[in-house]
């Protein structure tokens, strides 16, 4: 179904280069989850949290492989289109809106985190600083997509460079090249060993880690605006997966070696700042705070890109309000951007009312929703592989066993989250959201024609 404004067919502009897509996907995954959430995972599992990051890294590789295969088998279809093709109209609505809600929560968390980092220098109210950050990111997303991609390329590049610098500096400290009072072996083994909270700690940390890795499926959103997708996508996915695992596992290992895991505060500053304070390096906290600010703004930037494109696609199929399909002359989905801005304002109001409490509550939801989206991707590949007209040149090795293993692992993590009493508030909230979306899906008619290959 074509939607037109003034006689011109509304289409998203194709202007993203491979380097843009790679950095954007990495930007979605490297944000509050690693710079702030690593404090939570260390508190839960201790040094064994590295195993949780490895397990989720393997799951991520399976999910991304499945998504790449589907995108090449059905060129032009993004993530939500693929879910619709596999499971029908209603499932597409549920997953599409669930994905949008997930990203909205993540964006709000990132914007609030950005405000808290600005508060390190400016003693102003959190809500005011967060509102400023939100306006800044909304302004960026009003640019034409190729300018947006270029900005995000450099924006994300700063934090990736920072992690590399942190890894190098960390190794220099751990191996004694830079003299400090730090005792790496004692920090790793002297406070309950590698598994201070047993296997249960590793399992409990898995959902937080999945939240940290969430954003990789952003590639499914960028496919429709990429050039030469068949050549670009496989290379981008392989690069993103390998590098993101590297950027998580090495920094976490360095943090574990630089200070005792049980002295890392999950509520104070980022563990990245805490280790520099422990090492006694002057000026490092200010430099790292700037990097953290850049990191969360970059993640929020990618999140707004994802939410607006999701709404545009849903409106195109009659699954979202028609205004979400409106584009500017530059090809920017202004309708979806307006709705996203509205919910960002709600997030700022919550920050004014509840301050830090709202961040903690919101952080419990994205891991839940991302695990559902990832399960849907794996299930879609299992369902659609037999229907391919021909096998794509890029496909998951060991199908269907590898995909099934990823799906079962995600389901097990999902169940462990639900069964944990500590997650009761997040569990209830998520089930209410899903129940509401299922109910709403019965009242949306939209365009129920099947998605064409």
Confidence (pLDDT) at 448: 47
pLDDT at 80 over 90: no
CATH number, domain of 266, equals 1.20.1740.10
When divided into structural domains, the chain yields a total of: 1
Could you give the 3-state DSSP secondary structure of residue 4? strand
- Give every CB contact of residue 343 below 8 A, 6+ residues apart in sequence: 104, 108
Range with the poorest average pLDDT among 26-35, 242-251, 402-411: 26-35
Q: Mean pLDDT highest for which of 147-161, 346-360, 419-433?
A: 419-433
pTM beyond 0.85: no
Mean pLDDT of all residues belonging to the chain: 79
Interval 281-285 mean pLDDT: 74
Confidence (pLDDT) at 283: 77
Query: Range of 42's domain?
Result: 13-441
Give the model confidence (pLDDT) of 297-326 as tens digits: 887 887 887 788 778 877 877 778 888 888
- Give every CB contact of residue 139 below 8 A, 6+ residues apart in sequence: none
pLDDT at 449 over 60: no
Are the beta carbons of 255 and 163 closer than 8 angstroms?
no
Give the model confidence (pLDDT) of 187-216 as tens digits: 888 888 888 888 888 888 887 788 778 766
Let me know if residue 4 belongs to a domain. Answer: no
Residue with tokens 């003693």: 123
Let me know if residue 28 belongs to a domain. Answer: yes
Interval 29-56 mean pLDDT: 81
pLDDT bucket at 410, cuts 50 / 70 / 90: very high
pLDDT at 353 over 80: no
Let me know if residue 452 belongs to a domain. Answer: no
pLDDT at 332 over 60: yes
- Nearest one of 355, 349, 163 to 267, comparing CA atoms: 355
Let me know if residue 431 belongs to a domain. Answer: yes
pLDDT bucket at 402, cuts 50 / 70 / 90: very high
Residue-level length of the chain? 453
Q: Mean pLDDT highest for which of 160-164, 222-226, 369-373?
A: 369-373
Distance of alpha carbon 136 from alpha carbon 156, whole angstroms: 16
Let me know if residue 447 belongs to a domain. Answer: no
More confident residue, 237 or 381: 381
Give the model confidence (pLDDT) of 169-183 as tens digits: 888 888 888 877 778
Interval 319-342 mean pLDDT: 83
């Amino acid at each position: 179904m074509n939607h037109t404004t003034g006689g011109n067919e509304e289409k998203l502009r194709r202007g993203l280069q491979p380097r843009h897509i790679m950095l954007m996907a990495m930007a979605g995954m490297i944000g509050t989850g690693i710079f702030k959430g690593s404090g939570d995972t260390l508190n839960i599992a201790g040094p064994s949290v590295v195993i949780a990051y490895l397990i989720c890294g393997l799951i991520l590789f399976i999910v991304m492989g499945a998504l790449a295969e589907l995108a090449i088998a059905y060129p032009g279809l993004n993530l939500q289109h693929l879910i619709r093709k596999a499971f029908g109209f209603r499932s597409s609505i549920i997953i599409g809106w669930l994905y949008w809600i997930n990203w909205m929560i993540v964006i709000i968390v990132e914007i609030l985190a950005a405000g808290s980092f600005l508060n390190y220098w400016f003693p102003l109210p959190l809500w005011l600083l967060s509102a400023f950050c939100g306006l800044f990111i909304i302004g960026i997303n009003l640019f034409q997509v190729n300018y947006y991609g270029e900005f995000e390329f450099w924006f994300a590049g700063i934090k990736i460079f920072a992690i590399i610098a942190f890894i190098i500096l960390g190794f220099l400290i751990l191996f004694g090249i830079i003299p400090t009072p730090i005792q790496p072996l004692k920090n790793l083994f002297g406070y309950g060993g590698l598994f201070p909270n047993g296997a249960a700690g590793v399992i409990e940390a898995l959902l937080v880690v999945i939240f940290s890795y969430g954003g990789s499926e952003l590639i499914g959103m960028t496919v429709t605006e990429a050039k030469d997708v068949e050549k670009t996508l496989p290379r981008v996915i392989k690069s993103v997966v390998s590098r993101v695992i590297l950027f998580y596992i090495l920094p976490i290992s360095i943090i574990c070696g630089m200070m005792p895991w049980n002295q890392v505060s999950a509520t104070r500053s980022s563990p990245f700042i805490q280790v520099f304070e422990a090492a006694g390096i002057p000026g490092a906290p200010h430099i790292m705070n700037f990097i953290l600010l850049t990191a969360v703004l970059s993640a929020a930037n990618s999140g707004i890109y994802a939410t607006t494109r999701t709404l545009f696609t849903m409106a195109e199929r009659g699954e979202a309000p028609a205004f979400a399909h409106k584009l500017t002359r530059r090809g920017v989905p202004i309708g979806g951007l307006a709705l996203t801005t509205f919910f960002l304002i709600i997030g700022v109001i919550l920050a004014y009312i509840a301050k830090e409490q709202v961040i903690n509550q919101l952080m419990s939801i994205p891991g839940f929703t991302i695990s559902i989206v990832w399960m849907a991707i794996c299930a879609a590949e299992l369902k659609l592989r037999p229907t391919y007209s021909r096998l794509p040149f890029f496909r998951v090795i060991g199908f269907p066993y590898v995909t099934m293993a990823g799906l079962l692992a995600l389901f097990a993590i999902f169940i462990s989250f639900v069964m944990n009493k500590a997650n009761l508030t997040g569990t209830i909230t998520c089930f209410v959201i899903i129940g509401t979306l299922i109910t709403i899906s019965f009242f949306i008619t939209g365009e129920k024609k099947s998605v064409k290959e």
